[in-house]
Structure 1
Amino acid sequence: MYYSNGIRYRLYSGANLNIPIYPNKATSVAERNKLLSKLLFEINKSLETGYISEVISKIEPNKVEKIIITKTTEQAFRDVEYAKMTSPLSYDYKKELKRLVDDFLKFLTKDEKADDIKNLEQQRVEDFLNQHKATSTYYMGRRRMLSVFFAEFIRKKLITDNLSKNAPRLKTKAALHKIYTKEQLTTILQFLKVNNEDLYICCLLAYCCMLRPHQEIRLLRMKHFNDSFTSISLSGAENKSGRVRVVSIPEYLQPLIKQRLQSVHDPEINLFTLTQSTYNDYYFNLIWSRLKPAMYKQGILQKDQTIYSFRHTAAVDVYNRTKDIHIIQQLMGHSTMIVSLNYLRGLGELNSQQLKDALPVLHLD
């Protein structure tokens, strides 16, 4: 603003200077501040040339009032939910996200849902999470998933604090992933070969190729195998790591795959249904649950051993033979080596003593 003959004039744009600068038409705070800085420069230049002869007080762009974005709590959660549902995330993860949103909004009062998201109180978030303390793992899972929403609210500048991350943490116990012994591995695979060929092939692929049973193996089609059935190729959208993954098929498994697909010419034919459709998400789990009592009765299966135990057993076998974490990362399709380290720790193959023994040696006089 500037004064002329004791009258105060405000410059909202560069119109009075015949310059097309309009800060109030900016669509963001950053753009508005940039235009204000440009306007200030032009005003000062006009003062120096005498175009504006009176004193002007300098405008400080960094003190311009910020554009306030508001949204109700319910709408904020639903917007993020919609974005996640239309993203390339796993079916189970999307289902859990949706259930969390429904549960949280059901927990809030009508007034809280209709109020601005920035007015949501920390205590209300903690009260919701406290309902899920049946196990520390479940509590931390819900806390972590709820944090995804608040992180998005912060990114969109709806709020400033992650209320979920501010909630207390609970110590979780590592889940036991019990692997198979060599004797068990042979016995169980023979049992599956006789009782269900689909499950037999699934478990072989989980062990030999280290693929994930439900979201990778179940969805395999003719197009994923090369012409000689010596490798499997998955795009980034077809595996959890989000990157292209190519795995070799061991020689002892190649004849079985080739026999099943030898008369197939349509690249979209599924390995298990031998049609273009696939079995549902729980197909292998259902067969496993039906055969499990018989395996218990014969004493060939132990508690905490599952279909995933074939993949876990393979990881331990490779690690024991190579001691190379990088190889484990590549074979398992993990996004980072940190994931592989945590994986092996969860299987009990890496502990603090082993890490201690691997520390560098130095002999001092």
Structure 2
Amino acid sequence: MMRLSVAVALSLSLVTFACKKKESGNAAGTSPSTTTPGQVSDGNASGTTPAAGGTVLPSSCKVAVDCQQALPDLGKAAGFKKAANKFISENSIKGGVHRGRDAMINEGQDPFLIAKFAYSLSENDVKGEEVDIYLSKGCEAGWSKIGTELTSENGTKRTMDGVEDNGGYIMTTASKLGVANLAVGRHRFLFVLKANNEWTELYVEVLPKTNAVIVTDIDGTLTAFEEAAATEIIGIKPEAHVGAADMIRSFYHRGYNIFYLTARPAFLMSNTREWLNTRGFPPGTIHTTTLKAGATGEAAAAFKVTELALLKKNTGVVPAYAFGNKPSDVKAFATSGIDAANSYFYKIEGDTTGAKINTDYRALVPMAQAAPSLCP
């Protein structure tokens, strides 16, 4: 009953998160198949997807590739080293809420590799268990096992890329695992909990020297309604705004990298990737909060300001275009130095600090198709 009460309380708080978001994954693979429930690899980046009006988007300038290769042979699960971890894995109401943190870097930089293993909405951390790490370079090469790490214990005092370790984390870098100088493009890292072969993933996007990024919120901006995060908890997948995927794909096919920045709860990372894939959005870098219940209002704005500052610190990049729908987005994008002329807010009310109000994404597709091209 205690576990149920915690889960119910957290579920209610997340509904509050969605309803309050006037200001504005969990990856738990369970078998070595290409995709598993709650854990979906990249997809829907086809170069022949028709945009609004039947226009076929070009395929000659994709900055990322589909990542749909089968998983490596994971072998027999080793069993848990600690009885406590076995107990929480077998008695969790929601199951695994494992996730990785995507990274966007410049060529020659050493990416942070951050993943967390936990169970249930209350985030019962998996501590002191071995995790095998695999890499598929370019998302098309075969898998290579590059190392094994232990999940952290509570009380570990470290922070990496703005993420504070509160237990259950893998925090390392590619170079520490013998991987250096990743080529321009998209690379898939797989983290496998040896105890039961559950897994999560993250993607590292290596930017070319000439690059540009667009940043977009998700809930209410791309999703058809603001409460999408809450409905994801009970398995209801919201539709996307008509034309939104076409617009984002238009930027993508002109060479832009996509940064999906959402104040959703941390455990919805995998659900978020799945939703973007199934609704036809192109691959990109996805960041959620690290919080159990996400963030709204001023907290959501502060989270996005911090994330955009980290992007600038790590890569020197300030997004060229931005899309949101709430005052928190207006504040975050303006504070981060994004050009108001290239900032669009869906059906927003109130001051946009000179940015544009969007009421139909289909009308923005020509704008995206006419954006300065980064194609070779």
Same fold (TM over 0.5): no
* Structure having greater relative contact order (Cα 8 Å, sep ≥ 6): 2
Name the structure with the higher strand share: 2
* Structure number, greater radius of gyration: 1
TM-score (norm: length of structure 2): 0.23
